[in-house]
Amino acid sequence: MSARHPPDVAKQIAAPRFIKPCLAKLAHAPPSGANWLHEIKYDGYRVQARIDSDGSVSFTTRNSLDWTGRFRALAGEFKKLKVRNTLIDGEVVVQDEKGASSFTRLVAELKAGRSEAMLFYAFDLLFLDGHDTRSLRLADRKELLATLLSKLPKASRLRFSQHFDEDGGSLLAEVCKLGLEGIVSKRADLPYRSGRCGDWLKLKCIHTDEFVIGGYTDSTAMKEAIGALLLGYFEHGALVYAGRVGTGFSHATAHHLWRELQGLRRASSAFALRLTADQVRNAHWVKPELVAQIEYRSRTADKLVRHATFRALREDKPAREIGPPDV
């Protein structure tokens, strides 16, 4: 099968509900060479959109959660494609007033039960009209995807994720100047492979990772509100302390988090190692079940986050899957 000539119709098969996604490894410098292409890194939820044989549309997160009902306003955009048994890999985002994707705004829309402001940026095509396209080179898959989406009106909320063949370092520098999250560099000459195999690399302007909430402190300014969260991650089955985050909470978020954590209270710390007096000061312990997305500048020699800011809770990632940050 080539990008210009799909295979014979007789070879059509039903697209699976979900395919384990190709995941990007963190890199500290953009790769060079003609075999790499570079895309803007979006700050949203990784989602696969499936168009079934009857034309119905479903959405599945990277951890195989069915979020069709949460993204219902996007379904109509996919129905306009007039294809069947098709699986598209991409990112659901909400943009801020500058046109940058904002995870905080996306979470707010989800919490309110709205999806009208959401956009779907499509960056890969795994099945097309019953044909498994994963064996094609990425460059060919993107060519097919661009052709498919070119039939949509410019105002569509289903959009093609443009890529750049230019030097990755120059693109990353420009992206960081614009205040965006970073770039993803991908091997243009390889098939789609599930897992974190190094075919895709992510380069960040600022570190953003998920951490498990192991405790909290009360706000000194408001009643029934959190002041800070105690963070951790799982390593070899043990919860490792990763520091505190005490900024990034609106008044409403501080109250909401406090209420969410009350049902998870426990008498003792779930962290594997004994914490220092400073680390446990005024702490309330909780079961390590909630996951927070945190932005931070760096980590100390003790691997604690520095200059951390709370972004949002992650509902799509189980706490037990949160391992050590890449940095």
- The token pair at 98 is 């500058």
Q: Number of helices (H) and strands (E), helices first, in the chain?
A: 6, 20
Type of residue at 244: R
Looking at residue 46, its pLDDT comes to 97
Looking at residue 8, its pLDDT comes to 44
Looking at residue 7, its pLDDT comes to 47
| CATH hierarchy code of domain 207-321 | 2.40.50.140
Taking the C-alpha atoms of residue 304 and residue 317, their distance in angstroms, rounded to an integer, is 21
Looking at residue 166, its pLDDT comes to 82
Looking at residue 153, its pLDDT comes to 93
Q: pLDDT by residue for the chain (327 residues), tens digit each? A: 444 444 444 467 889 999 999 999 989 899 988 899 999 999 999 999 999 999 999 999 999 999 999 999 999 999 999 899 999 999 999 999 989 999 989 999 999 999 999 999 999 999 999 999 999 999 999 999 999 999 899 999 999 999 998 889 999 999 988 888 899 999 999 999 999 999 999 998 888 899 999 999 999 999 999 999 999 999 999 999 999 999 999 999 999 999 999 999 999 999 999 999 999 999 999 999 999 999 998 888 889 998 899 999 999 999 999 999 876
| Under 8 Å between Cβ of 56 and 209 | no
What stretch(es) of the chain map to CATH 2.40.50.140?
A: 207-321
Q: Residue 41 catalytic?
A: yes
Looking at residue 3, its pLDDT comes to 46
CATH 3.60.10.10 fits 25-204, yes or no: no
Looking at residue 179, its pLDDT comes to 83
What stretch(es) of the chain map to CATH 3.30.470.30?
A: 25-204
The residues, any chain, with a CB within 8 Å of residue 5's CB and separated by 6 or more, are none
Taking the C-alpha atoms of residue 141 and residue 143, their distance in angstroms, rounded to an integer, is 5
Exposed / middle / buried, residue 247 (Cβ in 10 Å: 0-12, 13-18, 19+): exposed
Catalytic residue among 20, 41, 202, 223: 41
Task: Name the H helices within the chain.
Answer: 75-79, 103-111, 138-149, 168-177, 251-262, 277-280
Looking at residue 327, its pLDDT comes to 60
Looking at residue 47, its pLDDT comes to 98
